[in-house]
Structure formats: structure tokens, C-alpha cells
């Protein structure tokens, strides 16, 4: 099955990718490797040609899973992974030093069972290392043939400009959805001016826009339990706001997840969302959004439901927010 395609710098990918983190961490229950491999291969069979992983996910487990499950189909997809955030000696680290970036890449290549990563992101900004130094290491990896293109994740317009001056940046990845509009402050405009593709993660807002969150009784280890907008009275207020969105989707004879992804796709041909899921049924639901022709009035109505800062509560708890370089919205709540 062939899906519509879009470009991220030199890379041609399906209009929707697959964020693979859910198969290794963050949203329990974590599937078995057999079930995770089945979902990955189903994604490829369904026409997804863009798989996104990271060294951090499951302390390397996610990269190992891709290495064992789909590398026999390496020519069928664009592979993205990430460095700077990593787990070293059992401890989560944020380290943008050139030597650490290169070491993380070497380990990733081994875990992934491949010779080259198509798109390699700096997962977060290490404020202790000038971005120019980190980008120098990334440029070296391109010159050595170990990566094909460079990406940045959750970085500001100013940082993107500085990085791009060292070496071409092909893609920027940040959280972006109907309810998280931070990239609209400055990042999207900067990416378009510089010819950089944009990859939204959490396009259905960690389940808020797919009817996947109805209460805050999460399983142990679920990252949403530590996110202010996903717990207590703040969550209750947010679910009340999202009820109107769910009604709008039903009136359009689509699922909320499809409308959320459709809205993102309608924001520009340079946008490639990467929803994540543990469910093949949900994966098929997400993929279908690439071929749905939404009426422009429905897309506009969805956007109007959620002006910037529509949700109550901070996006991240303070320690996680400290690692985010992307611009804040006016009057944005912080933990």
C-alpha cells in the first residue's frame, strides 16, 4: 500500500510516520518484543516509510527492537533516531559534548544493526555545550557516512538558526497538536524560511485527542501521571474542553484521532506527524487520516476550539520543562 509522501530535507517519507517510543517505555503496559515487532511490520505493510526511535527509549531497547524486527526490510523505510538524551550506566543523561554524541551514535548503529541512520536528531539542547560544538559532531557523522541528515528536537528558533549556520538541518521535531501550539510562536516560521521539515510528536496529545484519556488512574510508570495537565482537577477541566472536539469529529464521521492528525496535515505540506501506539487497530486508524479529505470548514472549526493556552496545567513538570528550548506561549503555565 502506498501512502501520500512528503519531504524532510533530502528524505522522502510517508505523510505520517510512526513514533516507536510506546513500544518500549512511557505508556504501560509495554508490549512484548513479538507484539512490538508485529506492529512495526504492520506499519511497513500499510505504507508507513518513516520510523522514529531514540537511544533514550527503554535504555536502548527500542533501537534493539527495530534492529531485530525490521532491519531485514531496511530498504523500505527512513530510519530516524536521536542522541544527547541517553542512559549511561543506568542513569538518564543530557550530554551534548561531541564525544558523547559520537559514542551514542556508534552504540545506536550496533543496536539498530545498520550502517547508517537516515535522520539523526539532537534530542534536546544541552545548555552547557554551545550548539555549534554539538552540530560540529553531527556534521562529522554526516561526513563519515554514519548519518545522512541532521535533525533537532524541542529547540527554539534562535537555536535552530545557529545550528543551521554550521550544517544544514533537515528536520525539527517538537510536540505540536491542536492543544500544544508552541511551534507557532516562532519555530514553524523559521523552519519554513530555512527549508527545514517539521515533525510533530504527540499529535493526539498523549491520548487526549483520541479518547485515550478519560481519568487519571494511570498504570505505574505512565509519564502522564507526572504531567500537570493530565491529573486532578486540571485534567477534568481539559476533558470538558475536549468534549466539543470529540463531537465535531463524530459530526464529520471521523474519529477524534483522525481529525487531530488531519488538522496537522492541513497546516502545511512540510509537516509529517509521528503518532505512537501499541495497537495495530489504532495504527490503522491513524494511517487512514492521510487519505481522508476533510472539509476546510471542519479543519477551521477544530483549530478554533483550541486557541493557544487552551488547556489548563503545564505541559511538563519543572525538571522536564527545564530541558525544553522551544518558545513558551504567552502566559503559558509552568509547573
Indicate which residues carry an active-site annotation. Answer: 57
Q: How many CA atoms lie within 13 A of 53 on its CB side?
A: 28
Q: Cis omega (within 30 of 0) on the bond before 29?
A: yes
Give the burial string for 125-156 (b: 16+ CB within 10 Å, else e): bbeebebeebbebbebbbeeebbbbbbbbbbb
DSSP H or E run through 101: helix 98-112
Looking at the DSSP bridge assignments, the partners of residue 12 are: 7
Instruction: Let me know: does 326 contact 190? Beta carbons within 8 Å.
Output: no
* Beta strands in 23-99, from DSSP E residues, in sequence order: 50-52, 78-83, 85-88, 91-94
DSSP for residue 4: P
Written as one string, the DSSP assignment of 285-303 is: HHHHGGG----HHHHHHHH
Could you tell me which of 310, 305, 276, 90 has the C-alpha nearest to residue 173? 276
Give the burial string for 49-68 (b: 16+ CB within 10 Å, else e): bbbbbbbbbbbbbbbbbbbb
Amino acid at each position: 500500500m502506498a501512502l501520500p509522501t512528503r519531504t524532510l530535507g533530502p528524505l522522502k517519507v510517508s505523510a505520517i510516520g510512526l513514533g516507536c517510543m510506546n513500544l518500549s517505555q512511557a505508556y504501560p503496559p509495554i508490549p512484548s518484543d513479538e507484539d512490538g515487532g508485529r506492529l512495526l511490520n504492520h506499519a511497513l505493510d500499510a505504507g508507513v516509510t518513516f520510523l522514529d526511535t531514540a537511544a533514550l527509549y527503554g535504555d536502548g531497547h527500542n533501537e534493539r527492537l527495530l534492529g531485530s524486527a525490521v532491519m531485514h526490510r531496511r530498504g523500505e523505510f527512513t530510519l530516524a533516531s536521536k542522541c544527547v538524551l541517553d542512559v549511561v550506566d543506568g542513569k538518564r543523561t543530557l550530554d551534548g559534548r561531541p564525544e558523547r554524541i559520537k559514542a551514542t551514535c556508534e552504540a545506536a548503529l550496533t543496536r539498530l544493526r545498520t550502517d547508517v541512520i537516515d535522520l539523526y536528531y539532537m534530542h534536546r539542547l544541552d545548555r552547557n555545550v554551545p550548539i555549534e560544538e554539538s552540530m560540529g559532531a553531527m556534521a562529522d557523522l554526516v561526513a563519515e557516512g554514519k548519518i545522512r541528515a541532521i535533525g533537532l528536537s524541542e529547540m527554539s528558533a534562535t537555536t535552530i538558526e545557529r545550528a543551521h549556520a554550521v550544517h544544514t538541518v533537515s528536520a525539527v521535531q517538537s510536540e505540536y497538536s491542536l492543544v500544544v501550539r508552541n511551534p507557532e510562536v516562532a519555530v514553524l516560521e523559521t523552519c519554513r524560511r530555512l527549508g527545514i521539515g517539521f515533525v510533530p510528536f504527540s499529535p493526539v496529545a498523549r491520548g487526549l485527542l483520541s479518547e485515550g484519556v478519560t481519568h487519571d488512574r494511570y498504570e505505574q510508570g505512565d509519564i502522564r501521571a507526572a504531567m500537570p495537565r493530565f491529573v486532578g482537577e486540571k485534567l477534568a477541566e481539559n476533558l470538558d474542553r475536549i468534549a466539543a472536539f470529540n463531537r465535531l469529529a463524530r459530526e464529520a464521521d471521523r474519529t477524534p484521532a483522525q481529525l487531530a492528525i488531519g488538522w496537522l496535515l492541513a497546516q502545511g505540506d512540510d509537516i509529517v506527524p509521528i503518532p505512537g501506539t501499541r495497537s495495530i487497530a489504532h495504527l490503522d486508524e491513524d494511517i487512514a487520516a492521510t487519505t481522508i479529505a476533510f472539509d476546510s470548514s471542519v479543519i477551521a472549526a477544530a483549530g478554533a476550539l483550541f486557541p493557544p493556552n487552551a488547556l489548563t496545567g503545564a505541559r511538563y513538570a519543572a525538571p522536564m520543562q527545564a530541558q525544553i528550548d522551544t518558545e513558551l506561549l504567552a502566559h503559558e503555565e509552568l509547573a
